[in-house]
Amino acid sequence: MTPFGARVRALRTQRGITLTRLATELQVSAAYLSALEHGKRGAPSAGLVHQVNEFFGLIWDDAEDLARLARLSHPRVSVNTAGLTPEQTALANRIAQSIHRLPPETVAALHAILDATAPQPKPRLRRAAGQRR
């Protein structure tokens, strides 16, 4: 199951929406939606993510979170290590070979390490009404 699929399923369950009803509302087949939830299809399009947000009334942070989960939901990942160090290439291969054996706490720890090393977005500055630079 992908992060996006898990979130959509949780939203459906919390709100008592069947897979068939959601598929009908999104104008996709129930088979496609099921495959998307189970990670048997690629990441959803931005348009479908928008439709899901609209259907469930998700706005602001919740809508952005669903879009972020969609970007992280490619069920078949490939890593291009060309130009990286031998250590980075070895790490990518080790993760690929052993990811299915990692316990949840190790996966969470790896996420935390990656989050700590990710570049921070630049703060958005808002101009005061009527002021120009």
**pTM recorded for the entire structure:** 0.71
pLDDT at 127: 53
Residue 6 CA: distances (Å) to CA of 3, 72, 91, 124: 5, 12, 27, 31
Calculate ∠ Cα 110-116-118, nearest 5°. 100
Task: Answer yes or no: is 79 within a domain.
Answer: no
Which residues, given as ranges, of the chain have pLDDT below 50? Answer: 133
Query: 40 in a domain, yes or no?
Result: yes
- Does residue 31 form part of some domain? yes
Q: State residue 126's pLDDT score.
A: 57
Helix (H, G, I), strand (E, B) or coil at 13: helix
Question: Is 63 in the same domain as 105?
Answer: no
What is the Cα gyration radius of the chain?
A: 19
| Residues 59, 104 within the same domain | no
Q: How far apart are CA 91 and CA 116, in angstroms?
A: 18
